[in-house]
Structure 1
Amino acid sequence: SRATYFIEPLSTVDENNELNLLLKDEKEEERRILLDLTTRIRAKAGEISLAVEVLGYLDLVFAKAKCARIFNGSIPLLNDQGRWQLRQARHPLLDSRSAVPIDLLLAEGQSTLIITGANTGGKTVALKTLGLLTLMAQCGIPIPAAEGSEAAVFNKIFADIGDEQSLQDNLSTFSAWVQTASRIIKETTGSSLVLMDEVGGGTDPNEGAALTMALIDELRNRGAKTVVTTHLNLIKAYGAIHPDVVNVSVEFNPDTLRPTYRLIYGLPGESYALPMAEKWGFDHGLIERASAYLGEGDRKVGKLLQSLERTQQEIEAKRQETERLQREAAASRKEAEALLLKARREVESLLAQSRDEARALVQRAKDNLREMINEFKAKGRTDIHRLSQAIRAEEEKINCLAWGAPQEELAGGRKQKGRPNPGFAENFKTLGQLGEALAPNSGQRKKPIQSARPALIHYQIPAAAREIKVIGLRVAEALPLVDKAIDEAFLGGLKEIDVIHGAGTGKLRTAIREYLRDHACVKQFLPGVPGRGGDGVTVVEIGPAPPAVSSGRRLRKNSTEQG
Structure 2
Amino acid sequence: MNERILRVLEYTKIKEQLLGHVSSSLGKEKINKLVPWTTIEDVKHQQNSTDEGVQVLRLKGHVPLGGIRDIRSSIKRSEIGGILNPEELVDISTTIYGGRRFKRFIEGLLEDEIDLPILANFTGQIVPLTDLEQEINLCIDDNGAVLDSASSTLKTIRQQLRSFESRIREKLESIIRSSKSQKMLSDTIVTIRNDRYVIPVKQEYRSSFGGMIHDQSASGATLFIEPQSVVTINNQLKEAKNKEYQEIQRILRQLTERVAEDADILLHNVEVLAEIDFIFAKARYSHSIKATKPLINDNQYVKLKKARHPLIPAEEVVPIDVELGGDYNSLVITGPNTGGKTVTLKTIGLIAIMAQSGIQIPAEEESEVTVFESIFADIGDEQSIEQSLSTFSSHMTNIVQILDQINFKSLVLFDELGAGTDPTEGAALAISILDYVYERGSRIIATTHYSELKAYAYNRDGVMNASVEFDVETLRPTYRLLIGVPGRSNAFEISRRIGLGEKVIEDAKSHISEDNNKIDLMIASLEDAQKQAELERVNAASINEEAKQLKKDLEDRLQEYEQTKNKLYTEAEQVAQNAIEKARKEADEIIKELRQYQKEHGTVKEHKLIEAQKRLEDADPMLTSKSKSSLERKKPITQNLKPGEEVKVLSVNQKGHIIDKVNEKEYQVQIGIMKMNVNEDDLQPVKAEKKAPTKPVIRVHGSTITKTELDLRGERYENAMRAVDKFLDESLLAGYPQVSVIHGKGTGALRKGVQSLLKEHPNVKSTRMGAAGEGGSGVTIVVLK
**TM band (smaller chain):** 0.5 to 0.7
Secondary structure in structure 2 of the residue aligned to 1:223: coil
Amino acid at match of 1:140: G
Match of 2:544 in 1: 326
* Aligned match for 1:76, one of 275, 282, 294: 294
Once the two structures are superposed, residues 196-223 of structure 1 have per-residue CA deviations (whole angstroms, 9 ceiling, x without a partner) of 0112323343432222222111111111
1:266 to 1:391, Cα distance in 2 relative to 1, 3 A: farther
Q: Who wins on radius of gyration, i.e. which is larger?
A: 2
Q: Is the 8 A contact 1:119 1:272 kept in 2?
A: no
- The equivalent of 1:317 in structure 2 is 535
Aligned pair partner of 1:117 in 311, 322, 335: 335
User: 2:466: which partner in 1?
Assistant: 248
Q: 2:345: which partner in 1?
A: 127
Higher relative contact order (CA 8 A, sep 6+): 1
In the TM superposition, what is the alpha-carbon distance from 1:73 to its structure 2 partner?
A: 3.0
AA matched with 2:430: T
2: distance between equivalents of 1:203 and 1:93?
32
Is the CA contact 1:359–1:402 (under 8 Å) kept in the aligned structure 2? Answer: no
Verify: 1:171 aligned to 2:171, yes or no. no
Q: Identify the residue that residue 342 of structure 1 maps to in structure 2.
A: 560
Of 154, 159, 167, the residue aligned with 2:377 is 159
Post-superposition Cα deviations, 1:66-93, rounded to whole Å, max 9, x if no partner, equal: 5434433334333332212222222122
Aligned equivalents of 1:208 and 1:242: distance in 2?
19
CA distance in 2, matches of 1:225, 1:183: 17
Distance 2:634 2:619 in 1: 12
CA contact (8 A) 2:324 2:443 kept: no
Q: For residue 226 of structure 1, report the CA deviation from its aligned partner.
A: 0.8
Which of 137, 148, 152 is equivalent to 2:366?
Answer: 148
SS at match of 1:243: coil
SS class of match (1:141): coil
Query: How many residue pairs align between the two structures?
Result: 367
Following the alignment from structure 1 to structure 2, what is the Cα–Cα distance between the partners of residues 52 and 387?
87
Any stretches of 5+ residues in structure 1 without a counterpart?
Answer: 1-39, 375-380, 414-421, 424-563
> Following the alignment from structure 1 to structure 2, what is the Cα–Cα distance between the partners of residues 367 and 142?
69
1:217 aligns with 2:441: no
Offset of residue 193 of structure 1: 1.2
Once residues 584 and 405 of structure 2 are traced to their aligned partners in structure 1, the CA distance between those partners, rounded to angstroms, is 98
3-state SS of paired residue (1:275)? helix
Which whole-Å CA distance do the structure 2 matches of 1:140 and 1:53 have between them? 21
When the two structures are superposed, what TM-score results if normalisation uses the length of structure 1?
A: 0.54
> Do structure 1's residue 274 and structure 2's residue 454 form an aligned pair?
no
How far residue 410 of structure 1 moved from its aligned partner, in angstroms, is 5.8
**Aligned-partner SS, 2:369:** strand
1:407 Cα deviation after fit = 5.0
Q: 1: distance between equivalents of 2:424 and 2:632?
A: 92
The answer (yes or no) to whether the contact 1:154–1:192 under 8 Å persists in 2 is yes
Per-residue displacement from partner, 1:451-473 (whole Å, max 9, x unpaired)? xxxxxxxxxxxxxxxxxxxxxxx
Alignment of 1:149-548 (within 5 A): 149-165=367-383, 169-277=387-495, 286-358=504-576, 407=631, 409=633
Query: CA offset at residue 402 of structure 1?
Result: 8.7
Secondary structure of the residue aligned to 2:457 is helix
- Asked whether the equivalents of residues 587 and 616 of structure 2 are also in contact (C-alpha less than 8 Å), the reply is no
Alpha-carbon contact 2:469-2:478 (below 8 Å) kept: yes
Q: Is 2:328–2:464's contact at 8 Å kept on the other side of the alignment?
A: yes
1:28-53 deviations in Å (ceiling 9; x for gaps): xxxxxxxxxxxx99x99x97996999
The whole-number CA distance in structure 1 between the counterparts of 2:402 and 2:267 is 40
**% identical equivalent positions:** 37
| Residue 296 of structure 1: how far off its partner (Å) | 2.2
Aligned-residue CA RMSD (Å): 4.6
- How many angstroms apart in 2 are the aligned matches of 1:338 and 1:412? 44
Measure how far apart 1:148 and its partner are. 3.3
Residues 308-317 or 355-364, more deviating: 355-364
SS of 1:251 mapped into structure 2: strand
Shift of 1:367: 9.9
The amino acid of 1:203's aligned partner reads T
Change (3 A) 1:345 1:233: same
1:231 is displaced (CA, Å) by 2.9
Q: Which secondary structure does the structure 2 equivalent of 1:299 belong to? A: helix
Assess, with a 3 A threshold, how the Cα gap between structure 1 residues 301 and 358 changes in structure 2: closer, same or farther.
same
Q: Which one-letter code corresponds to 1:329 in the other structure?
A: A
In 1, distance between residues paired with 2:577 and 2:626? 7
Question: Contact conserved, 2:345 with 2:445, CA < 8 A, in 1?
Answer: yes
> Take 2:629 and 2:343, find their aligned partners in 1: how far apart are those partners?
74
Q: What are the superposed Cα offsets for residues 205-261 of structure 1, whole Å, 9 maximum, x if unpaired?
A: 343222222211111111111110123232222222333222222234444444332
1:263 is paired with a residue of what secondary structure? strand
Corresponding letter in the other structure for 1:153: V
Structure 1, 396-405 or 74-83: larger mean CA deviation:
396-405
1: CA distance, partners of 2:632 / 2:470: 74
Does the 8 Å contact 1:400/1:407 carry over to 2?
no
2:310 counterpart of 1:92: yes
Describe the SS at the equivalent of 1:331: helix
Q: Give per-residue Cα distances to partners, 1:403-436, cap 9 Å, x unaligned.
A: 89975716899xxxxxxxx99xxxxxxxxxxxxx
Describe the shift of the 1:312–1:387 C-alpha distance in structure 2 as closer, same or farther (beyond 3 A).
farther
Corresponding letter in the other structure for 1:308: L
Relative to structure 1, the CA distance from residue 145 to residue 371 in structure 2 (aligned partners, 3 Å threshold; closer, same or farther) is closer
Q: What secondary structure sits across from 1:144 in the alignment?
A: coil
The 1:168–1:263 alpha-carbon spacing in structure 2 relative to 1, beyond 3 Å, is same
Matched residues in 2 for 1:64 and 1:358: separation? 61
How much has 1:142 moved relative to structure 2? Answer: 3.1
What corresponds to 1:10 in structure 2? Answer: none
The answer for the alignment partner of 1:522 in structure 2 is none
Tell me the equivalent position of 1:434: none
1:122 & 1:394 partners in 2: Cα distance? 91
Q: Deviations over 1:340-360 (max 9, x none)?
A: 121122123223333444555
2:449 is paired with a residue whose SS is: coil
TM-score under structure 2 normalisation? 0.40
- CA offset digits 1:316-355 (Å, max 9, x no partner): 1111111111111111111111111211221232233334
Matched residue type, 2:412: V
Matched to 1:409, the amino acid is R
Output the amino acid matched with 2:411. Answer: L
Letter paired with 2:451: N
1:340 and 1:290 mapped to 2: Cα distance? 68
- In structure 2, C-alpha distance between the alignment counterparts of 1:136 and 1:329, rounded to whole Å: 36
SS at match of 1:250: strand
The alpha carbon displacement at 1:95 in A equals 0.3
Instruction: Return the letter of the residue paired with 2:393.
Output: S
Tell which deviates more after alignment, 180-189 or 398-407.
Answer: 398-407
| Alpha-carbon distance in structure 2 between the residues aligned to 1:322 and 1:165 | 49
- Kept in 1: contact 2:586–2:616 (CA 8 A): no
Letter in 2 for 1:179: T
Deviations 1:347-406 (A, max 9, x none): 23223333444555677899999999x9xxxxxx98997898799789889669798997
Q: Is the 8 A contact 1:200 1:209 kept in 2?
A: yes
Secondary structure class of the residue paired with 1:88:
strand
Kindly indicate whether the alpha-carbon contact (under 8 Å) linking 1:119 and 1:273 is maintained by their aligned counterparts in 2: no
